[in-house]
Copies of this chain bind each other. A is one copy, B any other.
Amino acid sequence: MSREIRRTMPLLSMSIVMQLTELSARQIRYYEEHHLIEPHRTEGNRRMFSLNDVDTLLEVKDYLEQGMNMAKIKKIFAKKKNPVATTDEQDLSDSELRQIMREEMRQAQRMQKSSIRRGDLSRFY
């Protein structure tokens, strides 16, 4: 009889995620194309997102707004998944690493509290 809402549960429809992240459907689908998220699908093929997906999207959005491109963002997420990725070619530059650390801090704060930035919540009242 526990009742945790798992951050991996696919609870959210496209329109809600658009509101939570302030991204367009096109953007969200594009990021999925690049495997930054992999939302579940209903039987009828509709995307269903988890809170983790929303967090990832917010992180991607921040990176893009800081001028990063998809390629670098993908590297960052790859490195997160497998920190010992000695396999790949050139590493991330110093300034890039600084950007990432900065974003990591924000992300950590997000995680600590609960799930969505206040600015985004105001849309629901």
Contacts and interface: CB of A to CB of B under 8 A. Distances in A.
Interface of A: 1-6, 9-13, 15-16, 42, 48, 51, 106, 109-110, 113-119, 121, 124
B118 A9 contact: no
B124 A3 contact: no
B42 A3 contact: no
B5 A115 contact: yes
Given A9-B124, A121-B9, A124-B9, A15 B42 contact: yes
Nearest to A55: B3
B124 A4 contact: no
A113 B118 CA distance: 23
A67 to B, nearest CB: 21
A74 B121 CA distance: 31
B118 A2 contact: yes
A2 to B, nearest CB: 4
A62 B57 CA distance: 37
Given A11-B16, A124-B9, A3 B118 contact: yes
B119 A5 contact: no
8 contacts: A1-B110, A1-B117, A1-B119, A2-B114, A4-B115, A4-B121, A5-B51, A13-B13
